[in-house]
Amino acid sequence: EVLTKDPETAFCTLANREDLNPEEGSIYHCLYQFTRNEKLTETNKLLCDVCTQRHYGPKNNIKSEKYVYTNAKKQMLISLAPLVLTLHLKRFQQAGFNLRKVNRHIKFPEVIDLAPFCTVKCKNVAEGNTKVLYSLYGVVEHSGTMRSGHYTAYAKMRSMNNHLSDLVLRGPSPQALGTEPVKGQWFHISDTHVQAVSASKVLSSQAYLLFYERLL
């Protein structure tokens, strides 16, 4: 889907990506790499219908399959900021003919800003906003190997997010809920065992899935 034909804004984001300078091994670095600008050249050139018609004329005049390929740029950006953000970390890598689990700790914050990864014309962000904030409320962690292991979860018990309800019912508004995480008590859940834990314990976990709710 072509969201904009304006080359001046096609690769622009709500917040300057170059100011981000993400730390390697962080969720910001993962998002930065996933949404980086890619150059399509040589065997990855893009088939250009406009260039083909300019060179050979209309398609119905082309007797043989002749096409013009051109260098291009590609970038994946968020065009519609979700109300609930789910981040799934790839925790395996190829090791010869086998898959090996990645046990590296990935740093993730309690409040994350998606603005550097959103297109400048993001559909459900109020005009003038340069932040798209989310508060962490759930984490899934896996212990073990690729063959066996155990899933546990961290969940935050908190009051109802009225701002999130307003976003669902009325759409985005310029009012901000704030830049602080939604207050509440964290709990660690393992099968039938539930234990209250600190936020620092949650942030030090080996996250496999992260769940954030929209603040702004």
Q: What is the CATH number of the domain that holds 176?
A: 3.90.70.10
Instruction: Answer yes or no: is 54 within a domain.
Output: no
pLDDT at 19: 84
Give the mean pLDDT of 75-79: 91
Question: Three-state DSSP class for 120?
Answer: coil
Cα separations in angstroms, 160 against 10, 132, 137, 163? 37, 20, 12, 9
pLDDT of the residue at 102:
83
For 126-145, what is the mean pLDDT? 91
Is the separation of the CB atoms in 158 and 184 below 8 Å?
A: yes
Between the alpha carbon of residue 154 and those of residues 30, 146, 180, 195, 206, the distances in Å are 21, 21, 19, 10, 11
- Is it the case that residue 193 has pLDDT exceeding 90? yes
pLDDT value at 152 more than 60: yes
Q: Are 89 and 209 contacting, i.e. CB atoms less than 8 angstroms apart?
A: yes
Q: Of 197 and 71, which is predicted with more confidence?
A: 197
Half-sphere exposure of 157 (CA within 13 A, CB side): 10
* 170-193 mean pLDDT: 78
Q: Could you give the CA distance from residue 107 to residue 109 in angstroms, rounded to a whole number?
A: 7
Mean pLDDT value across residues 55-67: 66
pLDDT for residue 166 is more than 60 = yes
Banded pLDDT at 60 (limits 50, 70, 90)? low
pLDDT band at 161 (very low <50, low <70, confident <90, very high): low
pLDDT at 153: 97
Average pLDDT over residues 134-146: 91
Mean pLDDT for 164-178 is 63
Helix (H/G/I), strand (E/B), else coil: 30: helix
| Count of Cβ atoms closer than 10 Å to residue 75 Cβ | 13
Q: What percent of the chain has pLDDT over 70?
A: 85
pLDDT at 69 over 60: yes
Place of tokens 């979700």: 82
* Residue 32 forms part of a structural domain: no
Which comes out higher in pLDDT, residue 175 or 115?
115
Residue that has been written with the tokens 């600190």 in this structure: 198
Mean pLDDT score of the chain, rounded to an integer?
A: 85
Q: What is the mean pLDDT of residues 21-33?
A: 92
| Domain annotation covers residue 61 | no
> Is residue 109 included in any domain, yes or no?
yes
Cβ atoms < 10 Å from Cβ of 35: 18
Do the Cβ atoms of 95 and 213 come closer than 8 Å? no
Q: Tell me phi and psi for residue 155, to 5 degrees.
A: -135, 145
pLDDT number for residue 175: 54
Q: Which residue has the tokens 């040589």?
A: 42
**C-alpha closest to that of 135 among 19, 216, 25, 32:** 216
Q: What is the pLDDT of residues 80-107, one digit of tens each?
A: 999 999 999 988 877 777 787 888 899 9
Tracing tokens 């942030």 back to the chain, one arrives at: 203
74 in a structural domain:
no
Domain count, the chain: 1
Domain with 101, as residue range(s), is 80-214
Whether 150 is covered by a domain: the verdict is yes
Residue 135 lies in a domain: yes
Q: Of 153, 154, 139, 140, whose CA–CA distance to 186 is shortest?
A: 154
Examine residue 36 and state whether it is found in any structural domain, yes or no.
no
What would the mean pLDDT of 57-69 be, rounded to a whole number? 68
Q: What is the CA radius of gyration of the chain?
A: 22
Report the C-alpha dihedral over residues 126, 129, 135, 140, rounded to 10 degrees. Answer: 80
Helices (runs of H) and strands (runs of E) counted in the chain: 4, 13
